[in-house]
Chain A
Amino acid sequence: MFLNQFLLLAAALFCIGVYGVLARRNGVLVLMSIELILNSVNINLVAFGAYHGDVSGQVFALFIIGVAAAEVGVGLAIVLLIYRNRRSIDVAEANLLKG
């Protein structure tokens, strides 16, 4: 069993995800990038679980999938509301967090 390729795959996905979150201006794409990050973590968990012969890694992965679904639900709702208010889903324009 080689752990390396799984970890490399996960690292690659993570980096893509981070890039997407930081660089894309489209809200939906940002959310998708977050999904990528979460799934890279899932791969890590399952890979380490299999490597150690322990099932709890898979259990945690299942939890993360559940949490990710909820997070996407909330995120899409926020994006929808932003669109309704501004007719745009450009996250760069949404700077209300500025103090």
Chain B
Amino acid sequence: MFAVEEFTGEVVVYSSWFYDNVWLIPALPAASFLIILLFGKRLPYKGAEVGITAVLAAFGLALLTTFTWIADIETDGGAESHSEEAMAASGPELAVEAEDGKEGLKFSRGAPVINEVEWFGIGTDANRVTLGAEEGAAAADGDADDHGEGFGGGFSIPIGTLVDGQSVMLLFVVTFISSLVHIYSTDYVHGDRRFTHYYAFLSLFTASMLFMVLSSSTIQLIVGWELVGVCSFALIGHWWEEKPNSDAALKAFLTNRVGDIGLLVGMTILYFAAGRTFSIPEINEAAVAGDIGQGTLLISSLCLMAAVMSKSGQFILHTWLPDAMAGPTPVSALIHAATMVVAGVYLIGRLYPVFYEGFGIAGGSINAMAFIGGLTTVGGGLLAFVQRDIKKVLAYSTVSQLGYMVLALGVGAYTAGMFHLFTHAFFKACLFLGAGSVSHACHHSFDMKADMGGLRTYMPKTFWTFIIGTAALAGIPPLAGFWSKDEILVGTGAFPGTDGNGTFTIPFIFGLITAALTAAYMTRCVWLTFFGEYRGHAHPHESGPRITVPLIILAVMAVWVGFLNMPTAFVESVGLGSGWAHKFEDWVEPEGVATFVGGANGFTHAKPSLLLAIVATGLGLAAGLIVWRYYTALYAKDPKATEYSDGLASRNSLAAAGHRVLEQKYYLDHLYTDVVAGGTKGPLARAAYWFNQNVLDGVVNAAGYVSTLVGRFVYRYIDQGVVDRAVNVSGQSASESGRFLRRIQTGQVREYASLMFGAAAVLAAVFIFAF
């Protein structure tokens, strides 16, 4: 599927029952959605049991698929080399392959396994028959297949599954997080008035995300993308009785619509540019092979980037994401860790060659994607500082971390970006569910300053898991976030001796600032929530096992998943075999992209730097320490203060101004509602009024006058003359014939019988004499 002429290695297409039946994974939650919707209310657990069973089954399948995928790669492709030394060091089988004289040889690490059926087609078969001779010849002409079909040629839209490292990784993450969220929710939304509805949409949300993840064509991807958007709308607005919640749902939906236009335009451009194909691998292939012009690629990448910005909460379309906290907390965890917001990052990864070529990432120093990512990561991190609401801190943290992922992809560090997506899913889900557990204990409040503080003694399990999540997010070694963040920083190639894909100095600086910011705002969040004295009025208590067990599982994952992608140098220095190094990269980095994007050697993988790791971690620790001391000092004066009067912002006018800008979220909401919406709505309304009064009313009046005339004419001549007469005549004839027939109607059965016999005799006579 993915091979073009330049590729000299061998493409192995794995096969397995799990790859062919991977469609079951989204189908299970989808079926559960229908079952819950139809029968949920009558079931003993109100539909929760159906949702949990289906998602757990999907998780089981995803797990088996993941293991099959890993086993396939480990058996024949695991020793893939991204450097000469590794190839030489990896044993005899590799050497044998190298002797085959395949230049620029790369081991196959599993081409995407595609299973497609036709979803619907427009004029495909008929057109093949009626195609002109020369067009037919062109169509038969090997790789020019798709270019051969003219405008008259029909097209078919396939639906199918595409299994490769990236989709397998997301399958695992989505089903894993979703299972835990399903279980967690049984306690968290217990007794809610729309409990069944909640579970139905949770299932549909999971199903749509899985559907999108597995999509093999751009059309399917768009459908999945929109389904995810609809489900997030329904779940964010779960408690729609309160105005802010339904507003937040609308905002999320509308902001996403802005980006969706970009998605549609971008996909349409790619469809035509890649020779009328919706197939994702074919589009990627065309982008890499240079079949699509640079300008076209740039425009389509920019359009798709708009979609990514809206879905993945990138600056300046991120404003919906913090408001989406209006939904139930488990939904926030699902949105932020596994489903909604990673869709954008996933889209970049899925069409990576398009972005790579379009933005000219190879060997560059700055591009739109890296810049947007960098801006988002710092902007989101700063906003997280001024939030009182614990969930909003985490929301802006997600914005910031998504910026990190986009930044990584923007600097060509594909694996680093995907790896950060992977690790982030676990610790961010852990943090969100932890925040839910905290609010569960504090009268459903999320206000850190007013209703929290000192909770570590009341809820130790939540506290420790939250601390682990925080440490992982802040990049404290050896937790998960450290490895992925370090890889991104290295991947920018700006630090001396890292040899990245280019020298992306500005993204590097943004990334380094965020490393410090993340540690700082998370320290603030942890301090306000768990340390000091309890400032609320509830009686905080530890949550039940259905809440704490998922937290513990996620915390455990947040600890170890980072070890999946350790650099070779590190692994060797601690004395583990080199087989332990960059496993994630082997499993997830796709064959095609690796082969084409970076030339024969695949991706340019940056060299890890111990110094950089120390610097980044040191910055984070220092920032955390400063914040810690600041808050300890602040609360030492008045431990019960819910508002502090002599903070930094009230002493220093510059800090106050900065604080105000951040409080107002960079005035972006004002820009959208007042300037953009308000600015267009007034003139638009006036113009519409004028148009209405002068043009539409004129047309309506004229039409009215004309129709009166026509009506008068029709009444006088057609209605009175023709229609009425016809009606009268038919009435008269009916009454005349009735008067005649009435005489026969005597009520005497015998007379009826004689009539019947007479008629029968006549009929018999006709039959006898006529035939």
Contact = CB atoms under 8 A, between A and B. Distances in A.
B750 A95 contact: no
A92 interface: yes
Interface in A47-93: 91-92
A94 interface: yes
State the majority secondary structure of interface residues on B: helix
Contacts of A99: 742, 745, 747
B747 A22 contact: no
Contacts of B75: none
B96 interface: no
Contacts of A18: 757
Given A18-B757, A22-B757, A97 B747 contact: yes
A21 interface: yes
A96 B746 CA distance: 9
A98 B749 contact: no
A3 B14 CA distance: 84
A22 to B, nearest CB: 5
Contacts of B745: 98-99
Nearest to B751: A22
Contacts of A95: 746-748
Contacts of A22: 750, 753-754, 757
B187 to A, nearest CB: 70
A96 B749 CA distance: 10
A92 B745 CA distance: 14
A56 to B, nearest CB: 22
Interface string B484-506: 00000000000000000000000
Nearest to B747: A98
A21 B747 contact: no
A91 B747 CA distance: 10
A21 B754 CA distance: 9
Contacts, number: 29
Contacts of B752: 97
Interface string B717-749: 000000000000000000000000010011111
A82 to B, nearest CB: 11
B749 A94 contact: yes
B255 to A, nearest CB: 74
Nearest to A23: B750
A91 B748 CA distance: 8
Interface in A21-57: 21-23, 30
A18 B745 CA distance: 21
A72 B752 CA distance: 20
Question: Size band of the B side of the interface?
Answer: 10 to 19
B746 to A, nearest CB: 6
A30 B752 CA distance: 14
Given A18-B757, A22-B757, A91 B746 contact: no
A21 B750 contact: yes
A43 to B, nearest CB: 18
Contacts of B753: 21-22
Nearest to A99: B745
A92 B757 contact: no
B752 to A, nearest CB: 8
Nearest to B750: A22
A14 B294 CA distance: 99
A22 B752 CA distance: 9
B742 to A, nearest CB: 8
A75 B208 CA distance: 69
B228 to A, nearest CB: 68
A19 to B, nearest CB: 10
Nearest to A97: B747
Interface in B468-493: none
Contacts of A30: 750
Nearest to B757: A18
Contacts of B747: 95-99
Contacts of B750: 21-23, 30, 91-92
Nearest to A25: B750
Contacts of A92: 748, 750
Interface in B394-414: none
A97 B749 contact: yes
Contacts of A91: 748-750
B474 to A, nearest CB: 93
A77 B413 CA distance: 97
Contacts of A98: 745-747
Contacts of B746: 95, 98
A23 B748 CA distance: 12
A98 B752 CA distance: 11
B340 to A, nearest CB: 72
A23 B749 CA distance: 11
Contacts of B754: 22
A21 B752 CA distance: 11
A92 B742 CA distance: 18
Contacts of B757: 18, 22
Contacts of A94: 749
Nearest to A96: B747
B753 to A, nearest CB: 6
A36 B748 CA distance: 21
Nearest to A18: B757
A97 B753 CA distance: 13
Interface string B183-200: 000000000000000000
A98 to B, nearest CB: 3
Nearest to A37: B757
A30 B745 CA distance: 20
A30 to B, nearest CB: 8
A29 B753 CA distance: 15
Contacts of B742: 99
Nearest to B742: A99
Contacts of A97: 747-749, 752
B748 to A, nearest CB: 6
Contacts of B748: 91-92, 95, 97
A44 to B, nearest CB: 13
Nearest to A24: B750
A18 B759 CA distance: 13
A94 B746 CA distance: 11
A74 to B, nearest CB: 14
B567 to A, nearest CB: 94
A96 B130 CA distance: 73
A6 to B, nearest CB: 18
Contacts of B749: 91, 94, 97
A27 to B, nearest CB: 10
Contacts of A23: 750
Nearest to B745: A99
A11 to B, nearest CB: 11
A91 to B, nearest CB: 6
A98 B747 CA distance: 4
A97 B748 CA distance: 7
Shortest beta-carbon contacts, A-B, top 6: A98-B747, A95-B747, A97-B747, A22-B754, A99-B745, A21-B753
Given A21-B750, A92-B750, A99-B742, 14 more contacts: A21-B753, A22-B753, A22-B754, A22-B757, A23-B750, A91-B748, A91-B750, A92-B748, A95-B747, A97-B747, A97-B749, A98-B745, A98-B746, A99-B747
6 contacts: A21-B750, A91-B749, A92-B750, A97-B748, A98-B745, A98-B747
